[in-house]
Structure formats: structure tokens, C-alpha cells
Amino acid sequence: MILNILLLAAALVLGVGLYLSRQAMYPKTRSANSVWHAELKRLPALESFYNNVKLESVTIQSHDTYMLSGWWLQSPVGKGVVIVVHGIRLNKFASIKYMRMFHDLGYHVLAYDQRNHGESGGDYTTYGVLESEDLKCVVDWVLEKTSNRLDIYTHGESMGAATVLMHAAKDHRIQGVIADCSFSEAERTFKDRLMLDYHLPEWPLMPLADGFNKLKTGIGFRSMSPLKTLSDITAPVLIIHGTTDRYVPIAHAEQLYQTLETLGNVPVTFLPVEGAGHAKSITTNYDAYVGGCEPFLLTCAQGSAETA
């Protein structure tokens, strides 16, 4: 009897660990319509922008042969190119608000669906590990598109912010990185969500979920860490985070900023947006957001020109 209970308990724990691993690898992604309606509810002016600009649909081959679906938006000014990377469960429709801002500032913009999201391929999500490899392919595409004549910058939101930071550590062809509400370490976020969303203990569920993830993808949770890659970044970094973010608390951004500042390898700027929740900084205080991004990009361009 006792043995049966122990076996049942073990099976239950293993089952929960497998479930959590699958939740991480295969997040339930939202449809384009769902994301777009939510974006319009927050920023109705986006509809006019979307209907009046020419978005060129593009397809880019990833590092692992699957295809990435994106939009290219040409600017009549062409100060440079900003690549915009969306967050977990979303798609490129969540990037339109950023596309509008950067387009208004005079930049060409490319937004795309990350792997395992939207219309892109890819079998599972790795929270910046393989996504950063995909971004290298996107940079390749932009360089070919622009004949290698323009500076390239990256902007990411949430998981997309983790992607651009991890990418910047391995691809030094970009001139600046904007990371909005990034986690410092995915494992830290997973532990928080396990407690807050499921009211479950970290042990033994996290080690089990991590083990299942490694078996499937070869990638452990501890590898999903922008923090561990910061020492290899060579471009200036702007970190943006809402002060009331409850999904990824601002302590993650403070840790990233303090680490970069301590390393002293690149200029780093921190823009906390008062009263903004997760991925809501641009809609909470648009003027502050533009006021942070515009001078940052201009300073990056000046630095690039001086070293050319």
C-alpha cells in the first residue's frame, strides 16, 4: 500500500515536471488577430499607421533551415535599420507600435515572428538561445538588403529583449541594442512563475522540468541567460523597464544594468518608466520612450561614424 502511494506520488511529480517543461518549450501562442485587437485597444492610432504604410512581406531562412516570416518597412529618410523582436506568445503584430516609432524617427524597420511563433517555423522555444542564432540570419538579410551601407540596431521586448542581448554578445555587426523588460535569467523567471501561477515549490519540479527540456532540446534553463553573455557585448545598450512590472520585476533590469556598468565594456543607459507594467512602457509614457530611444540611437550612430 505504502509502495503504491509512493509510486503514485513519484508518477505525479514526474508528470508535473513534464508538463512544466512542455509549457516552457511549447508556449501557447496567440493568433495575429488576437494580438492585433489587443494592440489597437491600447493604441487605436496604430490602425491608421498600419493601413497607410507599405509593409513588404519577407521570408528569411533561419540558421536551422526553417523560415522566419517578417515585414520590411522602408523609410524615406533611412538613418539606419532597426530590427524589432517581439516577446513570448506574441507575433510581429505586437511590434507595430515600435515600427511606427522608429519609422517616425527616420529608420527602416524589420519586424519578424520569432521561432515557434506566428508564421515562422521552429519546433520549440528556447528563450533567446536559438532565437539569437536566428537574429544573426536576420542581420545577414538586412545587410544584403541595404548593401551593407547602413548601421543596424536591435530592439526587443520581453523574451525578444533577451534575444537581442544574447545576440549582441555573439554578433558584433550591430551598432546599438535596446532591451525592453528583459529577464536577466529565464530560470529565475520560471521559478517565480512556478510559485505565483501554480503555487508549487521549486524542488523537485524545476530540476525535473529542466531535465526534460535538456532531453528534448539539449538546452538547459541556465543557458537561457542574457546575464551570462553581457561580457561579450561590444555595442552600446539601452535598458528599459516598467517600475510596476509584475511579470518580470524591474530587479532583472537593475541586475543587467549594474552588471554592464561594472564590466565597463560598453556605454549603458537605464530608462525606468514610472507606473508601467510588463511590456507597457511605450504605451504608458510614449514621450519618455521616444525621449530615451532617439538620443540613444543618435549617439550610437555618432560613435559608429567615429570608428569607421
CA 114 – CA 118 distance, rounded (Å): 7
What the chain holds in terms of domains, given with CATH numbers, is 31-185+224-307 (3.40.50.1820)
Task: State the pTM of this model.
Answer: 0.95
Helix count and strand count (H, E) for the chain: 11, 8
198 alpha-carbon distance from chain centroid = 24
Residue 79: burial class (beta carbons within 10 Å; 0-12, 13-18, 19+): middle
Condensed to tens digits (0 to 9), the pLDDT of residues 247-295 reads: 999 999 999 999 999 999 999 999 999 999 999 999 999 999 999 999 9
Q: What is the mean pLDDT of residues 182-191?
A: 95
Mean pLDDT is lowest, of 74-78, 103-107, 203-207, for 203-207
Distance between CA atoms of residues 95 and 105, nearest Å? 15
For residue 16, count CB atoms less than 10 angstroms from its CB and return exposed for 0-12, middle for 13-18, buried for 19 or more: middle
226 close to 162: Cβ distance less than 8 angstroms: yes
Please say if the pLDDT value at position 187 is more than 60: yes
User: Nearest Cα to 43, choosing from 242, 277, 282, 287?
Assistant: 282
How high is the pLDDT of residue 16?
65
**Residue 135: alpha-carbon gap to chain centroid:** 11
